[in-house]
Amino acid sequence: MSDALLTPEALEAALRQIGAERYHNLHPFHRLLHEGRLNRGQVQAWALNRYYYQSRIPLKDAALMSRVEDPALRREWRRRIEDHDGTNEGDGGINRWLALTDGLGLRRADVEAGRGILPATRFAVDAYVRFVRDRSLLEAVASSLTELFSPNIISERVSGMLRHYDFISEDTLRYFGHRLSQAPRDSDFALDYVKREARTRQEQEQVLEALRFKCDVLWAQLDALYLAYVEPGMVPPGGFRPDNTA
């Protein structure tokens, strides 16, 4: 690496390049999901495992906030927790994800307890929470930047899933509708933050590395799903086994 500071625009371009090469919309599992080529059991496995990720996001955001001294930044970040947890019982992103797992016929108690989730899901997601807890605030904010790339994947996912899966309804996909407006707002803020606050080339490299790390976290979750439920279909000991292949 050169020692020269990147311009904010060059840093943004480098971040977007990481997304173009490593974001999980490129993963074969996602393509299968969007193109309607998974059966109900495979979609169940995805939703069950992904619930664990969803459930840990507010912990991650709270870990970040716990180190922020600026009330304005805390207020901005608090919105993310509000989005996920809701304000009243029954609303918020986590509940909307449970509407999806309900719609797929999974027992809510199993989903909430993480029964049958893949150990690799837990290891990857926990690594993300730890990263945000242990690294610098700059790296923690940067690790959220995968949301720069999520609006496209969500649009593809919703239209693909509604078109192809008769076991999925518009109502069970409410989660994604909300994210379409929340994610751009959040990622615009985080992008401006890292462009402004990374003041040395070393800090800029930390920002890039944090985004690569986060892409790895998302990719590894789909890798584990692919191995267990697509090909070659090796479910690890204790892992969820769909009771249908319809």
Footprint of a second copy (CB under 8 A)? 21-22, 28, 118-120, 122-124, 126-127, 130, 212, 215-217, 219-220, 223-224, 226-228, 231-232, 234, 236-238
Nearer to a second copy, 62 or 127 (CB): 127
Count CA atoms closer than 13 A to 46's CA, side-chain side.
22
- In whole angstroms, how close is the CB of 181 to a second copy at the nearest point? 29
CB atoms within 10 A of CB 203: 17
**Minimal distance in Å, beta carbon 191 to a second copy?**
21
Beta carbon of residue 34, minimum distance to a second copy (angstroms, whole number): 17
Taking the least distance from each CB to a second copy, the nearer of 186 and 223 is: 223
Token representation of residue 245? 């292949």
Map tokens 């590395």 to a residue. 209
Which residue, 141 or 224, has its beta carbon nearer to a second copy? Answer: 224
Give the C-alpha distances (Å, rounded to integers) separating 27 from 21, 216, 218, 220: 10, 11, 10, 10
Nearer to a second copy, 29 or 77 (CB): 29
CB of 99 to a second copy, least distance (A): 29
CB of 239 to a second copy, least distance (A): 10
Nearest CB to a second copy, comparing residues 195 and 214: 214
The pair of structure tokens assigned to 70 is: 């600026």
CA 219, CA 73: separation in Å to the nearest integer? 29
- Give the side-chain half-sphere CA count within 13 A for 27: 23
Nearer to a second copy among residue 182 and residue 221 (C-beta): 221
Residue (of 210, 160, 154, 216) closest to 27 by Cα position: 216
The enclosing H or E element of 231 equals none
Give me the least distance between CB of 138 and a second copy, in Å please. Answer: 21
Task: Report the 10 Å Cβ neighbour count for 82.
Answer: 15
Instruction: Report the alpha-carbon distance of residue 235 to residue 246 in Å, rounded.
Output: 18
